[in-house]
């Protein structure tokens, strides 16, 4: 999940806030094509883009000028 907070990721209020790992978005602001996806994550005002390659995926996040950009990765245990 892309975020714009300058936070301690081990602090309990932060963990409760990201427990859903989601953001509101409008399908009218979403683009989905073969090998290309983009959407505006409205809760944080972040523009997210993704594209696929043969053995990988590329992501790009465009953050607003205000706030501290960050990214939370939800990795399974042992990954």
Alpha carbon distance 26, 48 (integer Å) = 13
Q: What is the pLDDT of residues 16-52, one digit of tens each?
A: 655 556 778 899 989 999 989 999 998 888 999 999 9
Hey, what are 56's tokens? 């990988």
Dmax (CA) for the chain in angstroms is 39
Q: What is the pLDDT of residues 1-26, one digit of tens each?
A: 566 666 565 665 655 655 556 778 89
How many of the other CB atoms lie within 10 Å of CB of 47?
Answer: 15
| pLDDT at 55 > cutoff 80 | yes
Phi first, then psi, for residue 22 (nearest 5°) are -150, 170
How many of the other CB atoms lie within 10 Å of CB of 3?
Answer: 23
Hey, what are 18's tokens? 């990201």
Hey, what are 28's tokens? 């009218």
> Structure pTM?
0.68
């Amino acid at each position: 999940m892309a975020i714009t907070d300058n936070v301690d990721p081990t602090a309990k209020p932060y963990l409760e806030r990201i427990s859903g790992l989601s953001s509101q978005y409008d399908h009218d602001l979403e683009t989905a094509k073969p090998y290309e996806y983009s959407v505006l994550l409205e809760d944080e005002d972040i523009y997210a883009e993704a594209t696929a390659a043969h053995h990988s995926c590329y992501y790009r996040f465009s953050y607003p000028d205000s706030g501290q950009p960050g990214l939370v990765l939800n990795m399974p245990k042992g990954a």
